[in-house]
Amino acid sequence: MLSTPGSLLSGPSGIQELMDDLGEALTTHPDMRMLGGGNPAAIPEVQALWRERMQELLQDGGRLDRALLNYDPPAGNPAYREAFATFLQRECGWDVTHENICVLPSSQNAFFLLFNLLAGDSPVGKRRILFPLVPEYIGYANQGVSAGIHTACKPIIEERGPHEFKYRIDFDRLKITPDIAAVCVSCPTNPTGNVLTADEFARLRELTQQHGIPFIVDNAYGHPFPDVLYTDFSPKWEEGMIFSISMSKVGLPGVRNSMIVASKEIVRALANMNAIVSLATGNVGQALLMPLLVDDTLPRISREVIRPFYRKRSDAAVAVLHETLGEKVPWALHAREGAFFLWLWFKELPIPAKELYQRLKKRKVLVIPGHYFSFGLEERWEHPHQCLRLTFSQPEHIVREGLEILAEEVIACSK
């Protein structure tokens, strides 16, 4: 018989289904049109940068040996932490030192540690993480070692025309009760590409300050890299805030490294947890990235290469949707403000998005149904069952083929 935490962590989940589909598509079904995963695109200039850095490591035998043979401290390589703090001071204007940086084995790992550090059973009762704007990242949903550590608020849906809408925080619904341990957002949001307005961000910061709880911001797609943002969102870190910055979306998902920027106390706690759970963090990603922290290479390639690449791919995908769906069924996209995804809403979808997902899978098209991204709600919400998350990171011909099949299925089941 499994323990309660074991049952929670080993049972079926949206993120497990997503990763299983991704793994099968890359191995046993290479003809699958992957419109559902979160893999970054293969951008030639970015891949060339990482090959160049790897070659430099190979040529410097001593540095490569140190990266492969040594355990670093559980908070990360001390030289890397110092370099990353200096980078954030210069590029972002953040008042941080190496003591505010913890390097962990991926953002997924980081949020597992963070959520269970702050929320769950405690001497004062159950503590919870509040998500003020769902839909939110699928990978947060099953990370508690005790049940019920998430709570969430439905958004205001602002319709901007027949084919565009935007989610906004419903501050009338949002309540910081004594059991709330922290407030968490991804920005740009995975899955919707939503970016908080300056007013929304300021109000969340003020609320968390008033209640003395952390404000957690997942920057996987945002500032300072890969900076796939189409607004001027660039918040500053300050005490009481926790930022997560990932190496994955700048083209290094395979190295499994992320950086947490937080108070010294949170950093020490995460390092202690990392020592127990992982012993140490992998060195290769830190070794690859460290020389690039001393100049503007990462911000420049993000600004000049990565962001325009995804914008072009996004525009191409939207053009296909207009071409194939047109006015044949009611549909709308969330405002495209950042990240790698389209969030597609079929307002009169006659079947649940999960059933549409299964139909598309049979036709070699993978998408992610929207209900997985709306966890923590106390009541059923029909809206996410009408939504899909689509990625446009794959080559344009694959995206086009997948969207054409998607349109065929939606139109056919709507007749």
| pLDDT tens, residue by residue, 198-233 | 999 999 999 999 999 999 999 999 999 999 999 999
Share of the chain above pLDDT 70, in %: 97
Instruction: Please give the mean pLDDT across all residues of the chain.
Output: 93
pLDDT at 219: 95
Strands in 146-211 per DSSP E: 150-152, 156-161, 164-168, 180-186
**Region 117-141: what's the mean pLDDT?**
94
User: Which residue, 302, 311, 312, 336, is CA-closest to 193?
Assistant: 336
Question: Model confidence over 290-304: pLDDT tens digits?
Answer: 999 999 999 999 999
**Region 117-124: what's the mean pLDDT?**
92
User: Which residue, 66, 87, 84, is CA-closest to 75?
Assistant: 84
Please state, in angstroms and rounded to a whole number, the distance separating the CA atoms of residues 388 and 407.
12
Confidence class for position 24, pLDDT limits 50, 70, 90 = low
The model's pTM is 0.94
pLDDT at 320: 98
Q: Does domain 72-295 have CATH number 3.40.640.10?
A: yes
Query: Which H helix or E strand runs over 259?
Result: strand 258-261
Judge whether residue 30 has pLDDT over 90: no
CB atoms within 10 A of CB 54: 14
Confidence class for position 23, pLDDT limits 50, 70, 90 = low
Please state, in angstroms and rounded to a whole number, the distance separating the CA atoms of residues 317 and 312.
9
Confidence class for position 126, pLDDT limits 50, 70, 90 = very high
The amino acid that residue 370 corresponds to is G
**Region 92-115: what's the mean pLDDT?**
96
Same fold, 4-46+300-414 and 72-295: no
Question: Model confidence over 315-334: pLDDT tens digits?
Answer: 999 999 999 999 999 999 99
Q: Does domain 4-46+300-414 have CATH number 3.90.1150.10?
A: yes
**Region 97-119: what's the mean pLDDT?**
96
User: Which residue, 174, 181, 176, is CA-closest to 127?
Assistant: 181
pLDDT at 18: 65
Judge whether residue 90 has pLDDT over 80: yes
Please state, in angstroms and rounded to a whole number, the distance separating the CA atoms of residues 58 and 67.
11
Judge whether residue 61 has pLDDT over 80: no
Domain boundaries, the chain: 4-46+300-414, 72-295
pLDDT at 6: 79
Cβ–Cβ < 8 Å for 143, 116: yes
